[in-house]
Amino acid sequence: MLGLFLCVSLAACSAGRTPAPSPTAEPTAAAAPTTVATPTGPITITYWETDTDDADVLLDELAAEFMKANPAITVKRAHYSYDDLRNEFRAKSFNGQPPELVRAPGEFAGPFSELKIVRPLDEIFSKDSLDQYFTGALAGVVAQRLVRQVCPLCAEDVPLTADEVAELGVPHPEDHAGQLLARRGQGCAKCRYTGYYGRTGLFELLPINGRLRHLIAEGATPEVLHRTARQDGLRGLRDHAIRKVASGVTSFEEAMRSTADAEGT
């Protein structure tokens, strides 16, 4: 599926005025985020999107849950082909009657962004306004990788060297060299002499608990979030890969290769 973007039309926030063209004078500093007043009456959010079947069910459920939690807000969705969406959005924008939200392939935003018809959310709303929605909405984060499985027909036990044991994070690796075993495929017709047959997943699940939610709202750095998650029991991709090696599912080499950029996580 093509990458998607969510944009907010400035014309919808400007009391029906047609957006002014971009100035041609010297560039100025970016405008400060707008602080949006809390609405007091019924609100209708018009949401346009390209025709896709994959996200429809999920978006229907999300819209229904959102309206149930916010009875004063109605979300109206409309589907268009890519070309029709571009044409309708252009026409409505310059007439001062665009939708509030648009979901479309990423390249859709280019010309409208240059004309200042659409802007990123963090340029329109203040951080505090966004945090009250985004922080509470995030339930968890999942990372995943695919690793090759050792071939069940030709795999053999091989002893790990002191250096390999050290890479696993085992204390005093020299004491365990030659004693810890891993599985390694030797190559056969079944695996086309690669030593691997099939794939399995590595997963890293980070539930957003109270501590993390508070830190996110406070704008904590990734390093602080990672340290806190580790303290709360996060097991990273490398941890899962090591467990796959210990259970004989994948080889030491494949586990280290597939999580090289996740080392220490």
Element (H, E) at 6: strand 4-9
Give yes or no: residues 255 and 146 share one domain: yes
Q: What is the CA radius of gyration of the chain?
A: 26
Say if 63 falls within a structural domain: yes
Domain holding 65: CATH number? Answer: 3.40.190.10
| Residue 145 and residue 247 in one domain | yes
Instruction: Looking at the structure, tell me whether residues 243 and 200 fall in a common domain.
Output: yes
How far is Cα 175 from Cα 172, in angstroms, rounded to an integer? 6
The parent domain of residue 168 ranges over: 140-262
Compute, in degrees rounded to 10, the torsion defined by CA atoms 25, 109, 84, 124: -80
Both 188 and 248 in one domain: the answer is yes
The verdict on 13 and 118 lying in the same domain is yes
pLDDT in tens, the chain (265 residues): 333 334 333 333 333 333 344 444 444 444 454 444 555 678 888 888 876 555 566 677 778 888 888 888 888 888 888 788 878 888 887 788 888 777 766 656 666 666 666 666 667 777 676 666 666 677 888 888 889 999 999 999 999 999 998 888 888 888 788 888 999 999 999 999 999 999 998 989 888 888 998 888 888 898 999 999 999 999 889 999 999 999 999 999 999 999 988 755 4
CA 242/CA 258 separation, integer angstroms: 11
User: 128-140 b/e with 16+ CB inside 10 Å = b?
Assistant: ebeeeeebeeeee
Domain shared by 218 and 105, yes or no: no
Residues 188 and 94 in one domain: no
At how many degrees (to 10) do helices 127-137 and 210-217 cross? 160
Under DSSP, the state recorded for 34 is B
